[in-house]
Copies of this chain bind each other. A is one copy, B any other.
Amino acid sequence: MDIRTRLLETAEQLFERHGFAATGMDRLTSAAGISSRTLYKHVGNKNGLIAAVLNERDRRFHRLVEADSIDALFAALETWFGQAGARGCLFLRAWGETGGGVPEIAEAMERHKQRLRERIDAIVLAEIGRHDDDLVEAIQLLFEGATHAATYRGEAAADAARRAAHRLAGLARIA
């Protein structure tokens, strides 16, 4: 496996499981089996590593969530929980741990949320045949809520969100 890929995958797992600040660079290099010199050549510094991990995660997330229906969207979320665990949104966690003061991290989060919104917009168009900002926003809130509620309620949160989204889409359809 490519060194950079191995580094980013290892880092993502450790960040996800233990948090960003609590994951030291030494633990990371020994877990990934690379030297610290190599790590710094690849990502510059710790914030660069965090941003790289987030951007890679964003790519993977949006490859999974290429859904074109509400059902598929929340099924993808449930799949995601199974693969990556349910410990809240890693973008929000990174933003929070760094106090929101690291531009590259803040930008990664904004981009991720914006892309999610666009995906949901496309789904709403497919489901009810027109744009509906209120419905898009509601579904994004349910998605966000499920992401976080899953930490204490388990994967079932995705299904509850799916059902609520369906009810709202039904209302929008006849409005």
Give me the interface of A with B, judged by CB distance under 8 Å.
17-19, 21-22, 87-89, 92-93, 95-100, 109-110, 113, 134, 137-138, 140-149, 151-152, 157, 160-161, 163-164, 167-168, 171
Q: Is the CB of A140 within 8 A of B145?
A: yes
* A97 and B95 alpha carbons, distance in the complex (Å): 12
The 7 nearest A-B residue pairs measured at CB: A145-B145, A21-B21, A141-B145, A138-B164, A144-B145, A19-B97, A18-B99
> Can you identify 29 A-B contacts, CB atoms within 8 angstroms?
A18-B99, A19-B21, A21-B21, A21-B22, A21-B97, A22-B97, A22-B98, A88-B92, A88-B96, A92-B151, A93-B96, A93-B97, A96-B151, A97-B97, A110-B152, A134-B163, A137-B164, A140-B145, A141-B141, A141-B149, A141-B157, A141-B160, A141-B161, A144-B145, A145-B148, A147-B148, A148-B148, A167-B171, A168-B168
